[in-house]
Amino acid sequence: MSTRLSLVQAAVWSLSILSIGCETRAIEVDPNRPLTILFAGFTYVGSFPKDAHEAVPRHGTLALPLPTSVKPEAIYVFHYPASTKGLSNPMDLLPTRLKQLGFVTPGPENIIDVSSGGPLYGIRFHGTTCIGHISHEIDKALVNSRWPWDQKWEPDDTVLSVDSGCTL
């Protein structure tokens, strides 16, 4: 019995270590993929059906493979590493990166609704064939859990949505 229990404990421990290692994989720049340039340093954690009346669905912190394209019927959720000395925050990074990619941005909007947990800002952007929006929303699950591995991330989601015809 104790050998069987030890094997189960070893398996759980191994999976825990593997999942902690996976979750810190940040998006690396691929010059042929604008999405990687825009979200370099972030971690992609999932996409969900777009519903303007709903909050971002509950999700984990594990890094997932970045989709090959973005679709207007979905939202794409990213996490950003917890602030450390020398790192900019997403509100500073994203408008600059969008402009580098040739998009026009009127700039981040003001704080919208802090009492409900967000969104705290929104960045609208457009190009010749692309209109999109990036919002910043408190991730209540991250705030409530604050497990040691979740403290690697800012306690919020950066959410991308686009209209049809957008190729990022």
Q: Output the pLDDT for position 150.
A: 54
- Give residue 97's region: left, alpha or beta (phi > 0; psi -120 to 50): alpha
Taken in order 76, 162, 37, 112, the sign of the CA dihedral is negative
What confidence tier does 59 reach under pLDDT thresholds 50, 70, 90?
Answer: confident
User: Quick one: how far is CA 158 from the chain centroid?
Assistant: 5
Q: Which burial class, exposed, middle or buried, applies to 134 when counting CB atoms under 10 A from its CB (0-12, 13-18, 19+)?
A: buried
Please say whether the beta carbons of 125 and 118 come within 8 A.
no
From 74-78, 103-107, 117-121, 159-163, the region with the lowest mean pLDDT: 117-121
What confidence tier does 22 reach under pLDDT thresholds 50, 70, 90?
Answer: very low
From 7-11, 38-42, 79-83, 95-99, the region with the lowest mean pLDDT: 7-11
Residue 75 pLDDT > 60 = yes
Within a domain: 122: yes
pTM for the complete prediction? 0.75
Within a domain: 56: yes
Q: Which residues contact 126 (CB under 8 A, 6 or more apart)?
A: 103, 104, 132
Instruction: Specify the higher pLDDT residue, 141 or 5.
Output: 141
What confidence tier does 121 reach under pLDDT thresholds 50, 70, 90?
Answer: confident
Within a domain: 142: yes
Within a domain: 15: no
Mean pLDDT, the chain, rounded, equals: 75
Instruction: Specify the higher pLDDT residue, 39 or 146.
Output: 39
Residue 77 pLDDT > 90 = yes
Number of domains observed in the structure of the chain: 1
Beta pairing partners, 156: 138
Within a domain: 10: no
Cα maximum dimension of the chain? 66
Q: Output the pLDDT for position 10.
A: 41
Q: Which domain holds residue 137?
A: 25-162
Please say whether the beta carbons of 120 and 136 come within 8 A.
yes
What confidence tier does 24 reach under pLDDT thresholds 50, 70, 90?
Answer: low
Within a domain: 17: no
Residue 46 pLDDT > 90 = yes
